[in-house]
Structure 1
């Protein structure tokens, strides 16, 4: 069994978090923290970025195939990129998706990135929450499918570990895990890695802690790596696991790669809550998702 409704909810939360997080870039120097503390929102529209574009491709493949068909996923990533390359893709991802679009095999393309080590960036993690919600009834399958989805663009083991962590967090969120148990439960499912080590460290941090202090210990995406992004995002999701707006405000407070950390948190929390409790101004400001998304959870 798959949970289409939860996957769509995660997709909507991911897009909202991505668009909300993106609004905190390019603010006048010295004004970011003050605006966050005072909760001064940027006027809409809020466009989403590559985080959402790639999550949509992953959701489309799950809808079509019922699992991660890696060749189909690579082709869909390349198709979506060619149709709209101006979604703030990372520099290496431009190279990867252009090469795949030109007909090169995804394994060869991703395997040669970063002198043959593959990318350890946060791109595989930022897009995967809908997958975790989709397969939430089977955590072993969540781990396997998240890993399969990661290697299409990120050949490094840390990137795959980050994707597994976010997917498991989304699955556990749907399953009703207690907030205080989330981080430790996620860490227990992640392969041995630096991501797992930082998750274990995060599990020992009180959920009442200031996100800015937690970011100083774990990172908040400033290095654009899975290691530097995922443990903080999972901790932030646990901090407000039943309150999407508060989760996004808390996540953004630390700065860093805010669109990605908020996309991850939005996907994990909304998989459980949907968009309940969001102010109307957020919903109207956020760029809408394609019409086909609404039909995904209507299918048998």
Structure 2
């Protein structure tokens, strides 16, 4: 068993804060509309529960700890299925209900995920939502980041765009980790650095578009151009979430407020942004009210 690096644990905590914070806003926005965001009042009680984004991120960090930083795909698939069976009420998407139940029933995971959506596989954002801590874990080796992010992504998402989204988020978290203690790069510079490490894909194209956006681009415009997860795909989730993170690499709280303002799949966009930013900043600067409100995480390694 390997102890997770501090940056990976920071990233996991930031991911969980983003996930739980974003998830609480779904109901508020349905009830009160986007004007509620202008007041910047924290979501009220009850506890901010995290969703499947965090549940799977915890599983992934546990897998990395057991594997010495490497992903064993067969073991990870079973870990995801077991975590799902233990708590099915974490907001899993419809296709993941099917995938994880079938894997839990003993079907080979490769056959299950490759057969989704008429053999195309899912191009959803689930492989990206959980992966930031992996990028922080392997920040010293960007080749390992890309390889291990793709390996974990393929366990649940067969479509290459879903895997590309996961690799992009992991690389962003790795670059954020590398910058700990130094000045934050400019937003476009950070996004170009991520895009330049990716193969051709719709995800890469979206990040390149994000990097070209003028400094004063509004959240609303960025969300409309890049997509903020309404389609719950890698290409329409990851570029926006990374645009938000890149603009607030030294301020986790502001980064999450900006991300949630784009609406869309807000637990996932906030989880991605939170995981990337916290890989650099940690979570200690968040106000105590945030720490009190968010559901605690389970242990990620045996106590």
Q: Could you tell me which of 142, 150, 163 is aligned with 1:147?
A: 150
Deviations 1:198-224 (A, max 9, x none): 111111013432111111110000000
Give CA-to-partner distance per residue, 1:130-152, whole Å, 9 cap, x none.
00000000001100110001000
Select the residue among 35, 60, 63 that pairs with 2:65: 63
C-alpha distance in 2, partners of 1:32/1:8?
34
Q: Go from structure 1 to structure 2 and tell me whether the alpha carbon gap of 1:3 and 1:292 turns closer, same or farther (over 3 Å shift).
A: closer
SS at match of 1:227: coil
Q: Which residue of 2 aligns with 1:169?
A: 172
CA distance in 2, matches of 1:261, 1:137: 25
Q: Distance in 2 between matches of 1:172 and 1:129?
A: 11
CA distance in 2, matches of 1:293, 1:243: 28
Query: Deviations along 1:225-265, whole A, 9 cap, x unmatched?
Result: 00000000001000100100000000001110000000000
Contact kept? 2:7, 2:280, Cα under 8 Å: yes
Q: Which runs of 5+ in 2 are unaligned?
A: none
Cα contact 1:3–1:134 (8 A) shared by 2 = yes
**What's the secondary structure of 2:235's corresponding residue?**
helix
Render the CA deviation track for 1:88-141: whole Å, top value 9, x for unaligned.
000000000000000111100000000000000000000000000000000011
Spell out the pairing of 1:208-247 with structure 2 (5 A cutoff).
Answer: 208-247=216-255
Describe the shift of the 1:207–1:84 C-alpha distance in structure 2 as closer, same or farther (beyond 3 A).
farther
Determine whether 1:135 maps to 2:138. Answer: yes
Name the TM-score, length of structure 2 as normaliser: 0.94
Displacement of 1:277 in angstroms is 1.8
Q: How does 1:1-300 map to 2 (within 5 A)?
A: 4-27=5-28, 29=30, 31-44=32-45, 45-66=47-68, 67-176=70-179, 178-180=185-187, 181-292=189-300
Name the TM-score, length of structure 1 as normaliser: 0.95
Give the C-alpha shift of residue 32 in structure 1. 3.0
Structure 1: runs of 5+ lacking an equivalent = 296-300
Larger mean Cα displacement after TM superposition, 143-152 or 171-180: 171-180
How far, CA to CA, are the matches of 1:208 and 1:243 in structure 2?
Answer: 18
Contact 2:4 2:65 in 1 (8 A): no
Q: Distance in 1 between matches of 2:242 and 2:219?
A: 12
* Equivalent-residue separation in structure 2 for 1:208 and 1:5 (angstroms): 34
Inter-partner Cα distance in structure 1 for 2:287 and 2:124: 32
Are the structure 2 counterparts of residues 2 and 200 from structure 1 closer, same or farther at C-alpha, using a change threshold of 3 Å? farther
Q: What CA distance in whole angstroms lies between the structure 2 residues aligned with 1:182 and 1:111?
A: 33
CA contact 1:8–1:293 (8 Å) conserved in 2: no
Q: Do the aligned residues in 2 keep the contact of 1:10 with 1:133 (CA within 8 Å)?
A: yes
Q: Is the Cα contact below 8 Å between 2:168 and 2:195 reproduced in 1?
A: yes
Q: Deviations over 1:53-82 (max 9, x none)?
A: 011110000000120110110010001000
- Check whether the contact 2:19–2:268 (CA below 8 A) recurs between aligned residues: yes
